[in-house]
Structure 1
Amino acid sequence: MVTDLPIAARTDPAHGGRWTSLRAGDREWLWTRPDPARSTVRPGDAFVDAGGLEECVPTVRGIPDHGDAWSRPWRREGDTEILHSPDFELRRRVESGPATLRARYELHADPGYRLIWAAHALLDVTPAARLAAPHATPTRLFPEAAELLAHPWPASAHHLTGPWPAPHGLRLDRLGPDDGTAVGAILTDCASVTVIDGPDTLTLSLRTDADVPVSVALWRNLRGFPAPTPYRSIGVEPMLGSVFDLAEAGPGDAATVPPGGTLRWELDITATSTRPPGPTRPLV
């Protein structure tokens, strides 16, 4: 029997607003990689990968790497967490319900401000896990995929597009086993995906009333990155935009703040399981 699970999150406003836990029933879905350097970062520092879910804005790759939110302290006002950046203010409210966790976002900036945002969720999944998305979703590959393709990468291309789940013959829906590769892809015009890992599922769905591109990024690092000591990390990342690097965004590839100066969106996360229920441990 499929059971909808209560799901709850924990965040760390003092250290970049990172989500440090996403628990459904007795399963922790977020992969974490504690690094003491994370506690002392300042804007402009090199990215410190501590796992969890990072709020990447206004870019994912590029400058600043992983955006401007992860290196700045957030503050709490009631049930809202707030980030102040030189170019924008981001407000986030995470609400846990009996079957759905909803994160509500508001970004305030000058009208016309362009950005990429991604919920950069690194998931703790087994080598048998897979990612389910609508068949034939246009999926962009980026240059690190070049060595995995059967044909040469065009020298002038920022990305190549093909249908999910195997754009240009590269099968991406399987999230393991580790094979020493690392590849990023973006499922464009895709608002919802589901991670299936044995008896458990995690569904991430994005919604906005604004006229902005909605996508899901995949970072499938099967111990192929970084050199010289690679580790495994699987990112499934609902996003506003359809490229990783804002500097490479063409027309229609980035979100744009509307005339009122406020961009709003919502991320819904649900989980199910066919396993017999176990004890639910409280978040501490």
Structure 2
Amino acid sequence: MNQWRKTEVEGWDAWTGETEQLVVTIVPELGGKAVSLQNRKTGREWLWRSDKPLGNEGYGTSFAAGDESGWDEMFPAIDAGAYPQAPWQGRAIPDHGEVWSRAWEHQTTSLALTCRIGGVQFPYVLEKTYTFPAADTLRTEYTVANLSGAPFSFLWAAHPLLQVREGMKLHVPNDLKVIEVSYSAEGRLGAFGSKQPWPLAHSSISGGPVDLSTVEPNAGRFAEKYYFTGRLGLGSGSGSGSGYAGISDPATGEALTFYFPADKVPYLAVWANYGGFGGNYQLALEPATGRMDELAHAVREGEVAVVPARGVYRWHLDVTLS
């Protein structure tokens, strides 16, 4: 079966890969983003789409100025800021990183799509290869190659914006019990760095509990970004070798689950936007190689991934639909 074929989305060249269970569409010119991830058996589209035209305004621009849709790669940081270490200290990293706003080179075989991109301010090559290890699973294998003679610190996080509805359930390893707030609209969960229990946090607005494990209605007020404080794979809940995060719909029985190697991707973040940011209603489960969104903060805390001089850093991310 030829699993990959060239297609077009709103005038952009795209590649669509499919199995009996799922179908995914990637646009290499737009940061190598996935614009569609569907369950073929149920017809469900998992990726959220805004009403903006597909595209962005180019390197160094705000993520919010683009279409804000689908599944992007955030690398080598999430927040805009300066690189904190020599020999690149002070070099600017744009909002959501360097790679989401630029075209990726790509090549295909019948069974794989490979996309790659080089750095602007930094000497790296980021490569990802999509395959289908099973009919219900899309695998993305990542490699960062450091082309320099100095270690390179980075943050990577997947940014798959998901379509959600009230009552859907989030699933994370049992040993993840505490979150740390990166952003909270109206300060509902506290300021940056505030810690809250998972899944029942405390609202500074209502004074009552907030069940973070259940998708809330689109109230137009709340949006949160938070990281779990624990490293995946250290406790019994996530096992010694793999991490996971999932979301399910009790109304239909459908689910989406991410699996990834906890030794290389030891952190997990959640972006839950219930209308409080840009009026959008969406949620993202974000496996990450570091913790919190600013690279300088992650370096100070020792919660960052590092590619050795002339070295490589490899990991993978599986998404399974059921």
Q: TM-score range, shorter-chain basis?
A: 0.7 to 0.9
Equivalenced residue count is 256
Between the aligned residues of both structures, percent identity stands at: 29
Residue in 1 that maps onto 2:5: none
Q: Does 1:220 align with 2:272?
A: yes
Residue in 2 that maps onto 1:91: 127
Contact 1:135 1:164 in 2 (8 A): no
Within the candidate set 302, 311, 315, 1:252 is matched to: 302
SS in 1 for 2:69: coil
Residue in 1 that maps onto 2:28: 13
Residue in 2 that maps onto 1:160: 194
Amino acid at match of 1:218: V
TM-score between both structures, scaled by the size of structure 1:
0.82
1:245 is displaced (CA, Å) by 1.6
| 1:134-185 CA-partner distances (Å, limit 9, x unpaired) | 2351321125267324xx75xxxx4133432134554311112122211111
Contact 2:184 2:222 in 1 (8 A): no
Residue in 2 that maps onto 1:265: 315
Alignment of 1:54-69 (within 5 A): 54-63=72-81, 64-69=94-99
Residue in 1 that maps onto 2:115: 81
Residue in 1 that maps onto 2:69: 51
Within the candidate set 232, 250, 257, 1:203 is matched to: 257
Change (3 A) 1:208 1:182: closer
SS in 2 for 1:233: strand
Change (3 A) 1:253 1:209: closer
Residue in 2 that maps onto 1:242: 291
Partners of 1:237 and 1:49 lie apart in 2 by 19
1:37 is displaced (CA, Å) by 7.0
1:239 is displaced (CA, Å) by 1.4
1:232 is displaced (CA, Å) by 1.3
1:105 is displaced (CA, Å) by 0.3
Name structure 2 gaps, 5 residues minimum.
Answer: 1-19, 82-93, 203-208, 233-242
Partners of 1:257 and 1:147 lie apart in 2 by 35
Residue in 2 that maps onto 1:181: 222
Partners of 1:49 and 1:165 lie apart in 2 by 31
SS in 1 for 2:303: coil
1:117 is displaced (CA, Å) by 0.7
RMSD across aligned positions (CA): 2.2
Change (3 A) 1:219 1:209: closer
TM-score between both structures, scaled by the size of structure 2:
0.73
Contact 1:18 1:55 in 2 (8 A): yes
Q: Larger RCO: Structure 1 or Structure 2 (Cα < 8 Å, ≥ 6 residues apart)? A: 1
Amino acid at match of 1:131: L
Partners of 2:201 and 2:310 lie apart in 1 by 38
